[in-house]
Structure 1
Amino acid sequence: MRNLIRILFCVCMSAAGLAHAAIDLPDLPNLAGVGVGVTTQCTGCKDTLVGVMPALEYHSEHYTLEWYGPVAQLDLGAPGSSFRWGPVLGIRLGRSDLDDPVLDALPGIHNTMEGGAFVGYEYLHAGGVPYRVRLYTYVMTNAGQEYTGARGSVYGSVWLPASPRILLGAGLGYGWGSHSFMNTYYGVSSAGAAASGLPAFDAHGGSQQVYGWLGAVVRVAPKWFVGVGVIEQRLIAAAADTPIVTQRGTPNQLTYGAGVGYSF
């Protein structure tokens, strides 16, 4: 989800909202790549799809630009500083053309632009076995195009080397949303109930999900990297209680994928 913001190296993002479950990458050189992944067709759905995403990370003297799939962020933290901050811009994918005919009968949700900001802190332990710990939070909104209010996440990650060529990572996070955000993606209106046969449901604001992920980045040649990763998102509170999930979907949203990148 930086919201997300970042994701495991080239793991695909999709309508399931993986783009909003933030996942960190370790420090890498300037890098361009592409990834492919499998995830659910919408947040709360159980049917899956396969998608492809681009990846770009560029470091300058004053900033770091990261673009992974539908999310881009500009890290303006000073070089050498543990404090990280900056703006985030992304596309939140909607809900349409689903395999499940009942869920597909619900009113569609358009793709929408989101903007926001992140702040974070990172600690690099250079002695003994080196490792990096990151703690981040972000807030995003789309200014009423599909929902009002905001959504956000807090999360942490750790990366450490398994060998000079292999980095292993893991992380945990928690996401929340305003009433408008939650009701847009998890609510069932009276019109939606009449069209789908699902009971009407008002999704209150608050907790949305908890998630955890595992990943690895391998340098396979001097300028080539391969990444693999898996993330499990567990919908909670109103996001898990909606009939979209209880009658047609699942609160467990699994995404996995792999990608390749070239450093420059």
Structure 2
Amino acid sequence: MSWQQRSKCLGLCVATALAALPAPAQADDLSALFEPNTIVSAGGFVGAGPRFQGGKQVGLWGLPYVSFRKADEPREWWSPDDGLDVTLVGQGRLQAGAVLDFREGRFRNDDHRLAGLPRLPVTVGLGVFGEFWPIAETVRLRAEVTQGIRAHDGIIAKFGADLVSRFGRFTLSMGPRFVIGDEAAMRLDFDVPVGTNLVNPILAPYRAAAGPRSAGATASLGYDWSETWQTLGYIRYDRFIASASDSPIVRRIGTPNELTVAIGAIYSFRVSP
């Protein structure tokens, strides 16, 4: 069994949530950190994307990255939009486990036209993931299902497929993405409560429904400068569909098209207890 940790969130909230995840009682769980020549990879990403779900305004962000693996484990390919995960079952081509997913917030200063809408704090979702490689190291299928840490945050399910190709020191990947949400998750981001139009006349009352949320695609390009240094560029496009695209938040304030870009660098080194 391999154990890999990916950091996708900022601050102590991430460390606290990760500590709450169940860990396998195996020799290669967290104890891998204390084995000889454990390989630790650390770095960070900077990028730009929508300030909130459906928003047109662009914001800048920065996130750290960290993972570790045993000395005899090969470096696993991953996508920058994967949630922070811990493999609990399986190895190699089929894996499953716990996952933590970052969920964007929404604040009044993101766009003055949000007046009257409730403020949404940044939060995370906890759940499970499954990953299968029908063609080893070439085609990956992945699903993540998470529940927000607050009961009313709702459930979001993310599905993706990736085609991974290696050309010398370059690694190119691309593939589709599809997201669905239950009623609670959809209403949280896309509802317009009754009475909002009294404060903000451009927003008519609206109730979002469970179902498809977005469809899109992603691509990344990595380059291994050496055994220790790697850089990675990433781009993702999402199109809100169904109930999400009909929301006045998307139609009157924002846009159904979302584009996220990022670039990062990762340094790998061996540590011994």
Counterpart secondary structure, 1:182: helix
Aligned letter for 1:40? P
Name the structure 1 match of 2:232: 227
Q: Cα deviation per residue 1:109-136 (whole Å; 9 max; x = unaligned)?
A: 12223110011211344xxxxx521111
Structure 1 pair 188–6 and aligned structure 2 pair: CA distance change class (3 A): farther
Name the structure 2 match of 1:172: 176
Counterpart secondary structure, 1:190: coil
Task: Indicate which of 129, 136, 142 corresponds to 1:136.
Answer: 142
Say whether 1:74 aligns with 2:86: yes
RMSD: 2.8
Say whether 1:83 aligns with 2:83: no
Structure 1 pair 186–255 and aligned structure 2 pair: CA distance change class (3 A): same
The aligned length equals: 232
Give the CA deviation at 1:106. 1.4
Say whether 1:147 aligns with 2:159: no
Q: Cα deviation per residue 1:229-248 (whole Å; 9 max; x = unaligned)?
A: 11001100011110111111
Name the structure 2 match of 1:58: 68
Aligned letter for 2:227? P
**Unaligned 5+ runs, structure 1:** 14-28, 126-130
Aligned letter for 1:141? Q
TM-score by length of 2: 0.76
Task: Indicate which of 106, 130, 148 corresponds to 1:95.
Answer: 106
Aligned letter for 2:124? M
Aligned letter for 1:96? F
Aligned letter for 1:207? P
Aligned letter for 2:192? V
Name the structure 2 match of 1:16: none
CA contact (8 A) 2:106 2:119 kept: yes
Counterpart secondary structure, 1:188: coil
Quote the Cα distance in structure 1 between the aligned partners of 2:191 and 2:165. Answer: 41
Name the structure 2 match of 1:21: none
Name the structure 1 match of 2:59: 49
Name the structure 1 match of 2:134: 123
Quote the Cα distance in structure 1 between the aligned partners of 2:113 and 2:98. Answer: 38
Give the CA deviation at 1:6. 7.4
Q: Identity rate of aligned residues, in percent? A: 25
Structure 1 pair 113–67 and aligned structure 2 pair: CA distance change class (3 A): farther
Give 1 or 2 for the bigger CA radius of gyration: 2
Give the CA deviation at 1:191. 3.7
CA contact (8 A) 1:119 1:138 kept: yes
